[in-house]
Amino acid sequence: MRYNNARARLGFIHVVWLFAGIIFISACPQKTPDLIIHAASRDHRLRVEVAESAAAQQRGLMYRQSLGKDSGMLFIFGKQELLTFWMKNTMIPLDILFISSDLVIVDVSTMYPCTLDPCPFYTSKQPAKYALEVNAGYVRSHAIKTGDTVSSDILKLKK
C-alpha cells in the first residue's frame, strides 16, 4: 500500500511538472520571422506571422481588432497560381501584396472589412506563391510598387 501511495505521489508530481512546462512554453512569446521589402526608396522590415496550413490561411486576420505598425501576415502556398482573398469577418482594412515564387511583388491591392455576404473577392493579376497582408496605407506610405522584391529567411526555406 505504501508503495502505491509513493508511486501515485510521484505520478502526480510528474503531471504537475508537465502542466507547468506547458504553461511556461505557451506563455513565452512566439518568434515571428522578419520579412524585408526592398523598395526603390529603401528597405522596409516587417515582423510577420506565417499562415501556411489551410486552417491558418482560412482564419487569416479574421476578428482581429488591430495589426501592429510594422507587422503583417504572410501566406505561403504550395504552388504559384492566381490567388484569391476575401475579407469576411476581417475588422481592419488591409493592403495585400501578391508575391511570385522568385520573390517579386506582382500585384498590390487594398482590401476593406466585410461582415455581410456577399463579400468582394481580391484576386492577384499575376500568378503568385505568397501573399502578405499589412495595414491599409502601408504600401502607399512606404512607396512600395509592383516589381519591388522581398526577402526573408522563412521564404528561403519554402522556395
pLDDT at position 4 is 55
35 and 76 co-located in one domain: yes
Tens of pLDDT, residues 44-77:
999 999 988 888 788 888 868 889 999 999 999 9
3-state secondary structure of 119: coil
**Average pLDDT for 96-111:** 97
Backbone torsions φ then ψ of 60, nearest 5 degrees: 50, -130
**DSSP state, residue 120:** P
| Domain CATH number, residue 126 | 2.60.120.1140
Check residues 130 and 58 and name the one with the higher pLDDT: 130
Q: Which residues contact 61 (CB under 8 A, 6 or more apart)?
A: 67, 73, 90, 92, 94, 133
pLDDT at 115: 80
Q: Assess whether the previous peptide bond of 113 is cis (omega < 30° from 0).
A: no
The residue among 7 and 149 whose pLDDT is bigger is: 149
Could you give the number of structural domains in the chain?
2
C-alpha to C-alpha distance for 36 and 98, rounded to whole angstroms: 14
Q: What pLDDT score does 31 carry?
A: 53
pLDDT value at residue 154:
85
CB neighbour list of residue 119: distance below 8 Å, 6 or more residues apart: 86, 87, 88
> Residue 65: what pLDDT?
86
How would residue 33 be classed by pLDDT, with cut points 50, 70 and 90?
A: confident
Q: Are residues 12 and 71 in the same domain?
A: no
Beta-strand ranges (E) seen in 28-91 are 34-38, 43-51, 71-81, 84-86
Question: Average pLDDT for residues 71-92, to the nearest whole number?
Answer: 94
Same domain, yes or no: 121 and 141: yes
Q: What is the pLDDT of residue 157?
A: 58
Residues 43, 86, single domain; the answer is yes
Residue 77 and residue 24 share a domain: no
* Mean local confidence (pLDDT), 82-105: 95
Domain membership of residue 6 as a residue range: 1-30
Residue that the C-alpha cell 508530481 belongs to:
13
Mark whether 20 and 55 lie in a shared domain: no
